[in-house]
Amino acid sequence: MSIAVYPGSFDPVTKGHLNIIARAAKSFDRLIVCVMVNSDKHPMFTLEERVEMLRRVTAGMDNVEVDYSDILLAEYARSRGAHVIVKGLRVISDFEREFQMAIINHKLNPELDTMFLTAEHQFMYLSSSIVKEMGRYQADLEDFLPEEIIPDFLARIHNTN
Ligand code: ADP
């Protein structure tokens, strides 16, 4: 069985993430979307909220599972029997960091390879942080966030303003 892991912060999940999930799910028997606990960041949504929103927006995708992890990605992949990490590549600025991470992960776990999917043009400049910024200025969010989570996002923005 081919198993891949798609890791990220997903704070919150955007349409760009969802596009990568849907495309990657077609190429593997099982895709594990994994919310990585990153102690450097101050997330808008808790780990549990991010996992729950991801589960909600991927509910119709039979071979997609949502999980979280606070261990090294290479170790997590090994523990789940995954041989591929899926990453989305947006602008050129993503490339250097992703290239470095792919090499390190392969060194830590030689069974593991990273595969990149290029962002679709309409999501090329979309990131969770841009969405958070736009949300503060009442921008229309439909092009950026899955419909199901827009109420959660608006509630959080209004509570923190
Ligand atoms: P963000 O940068 O939006 O906070 P994450 O850290 O959650 O995103 O990113 C998880 C993965 O999803 C990374 O591989 C990232 O390159 C990819 N990704 C994020 N946004 C997009 C997008 N709009 N299109 C394609 N891939 C994306």
Domain count, the chain: 1
Q: How much is the pTM?
A: 0.94
- Could you tell me the distance, in angstroms and rounded to a whole number, from the CA of residue 123 to the centre of ligand 1? 10
Residue nearest ligand 1's atom 9 by CA: 8
Per-residue model confidence (pLDDT) at position 106: 96
**Shortest CA distance to 129 belongs to which of 3, 2, 12?**
12
- Per the annotation, the verdict on 17 as an active-site residue is yes
Write out residues in the chain with pLDDT < 50, as ranges: 161
80 counts as catalytic: no
pLDDT at 93: 81
d(CA 120, CA 49): 26
128 is catalytic: yes
Range of the domain at 139: 3-159
Task: CATH number of the domain at 79, please.
Answer: 3.40.50.620
Nearest to 135 by CA among 124, 151, 119, 148: 151
Ligand 1 contacts CB of residue 135 (under 6 A): no
Q: Residue 7, exposed/middle/buried by CB under 10 A (0-12, 13-18, 19+)?
A: buried
What is the CA(81)–ligand 1 centre distance, in A? 23
